Structure 1
Amino acid sequence: MPAVLIRQLENLAKVAVALGDGRERGILGHEAEMILRASEESVPEPADRRDVLAAYEALETLLGAQDSPPVASA
């Protein structure tokens, strides 16, 4: 089960890259939160939950990076 949750989060990251900027990123973040909650309820092994959390945090970092304004070149 944890592998499926991790793959879901990884695929949300791929979708986030394809979407670029936009309102849809918030929807992806919401979906990621639901996946994380599902892991807390259904994955008994702490190490597996940490792996899911790492995939979640990677997606959140990506979503946050897309929110950042582009750096102006000098």
Structure 2
Amino acid sequence: MHHHEHHHLQAPNKEEILKMSEAERVELSNSFRVYCIILVTPKDVRLWAAVKETWFKHCDKAEFFSSERV
């Protein structure tokens, strides 16, 4: 049986981040990947475009999902 492992990390709080050097903040920023799952309904196509122009930029990978046929 294949065993999947993953790790839960505690994100640093604002005070901890402010105490870090610039190099540490850059290293921390480069070590995270953000996968966005965007739940939509087909009738909200205009909203899809708005999300793509805004939130997608904050994601390393993003996908739209719907419970209905699109």
Taking structure 1 as the reference length, what is the TM-score of the superposition?
Answer: 0.30
Higher relative strand content: 2
Q: Please tell me whether Structure 1 or Structure 2 has the larger radius of gyration of its CA atoms.
A: 2
Taking structure 2 as the reference length, what is the TM-score of the superposition?
Answer: 0.31
Higher relative helix content: 1
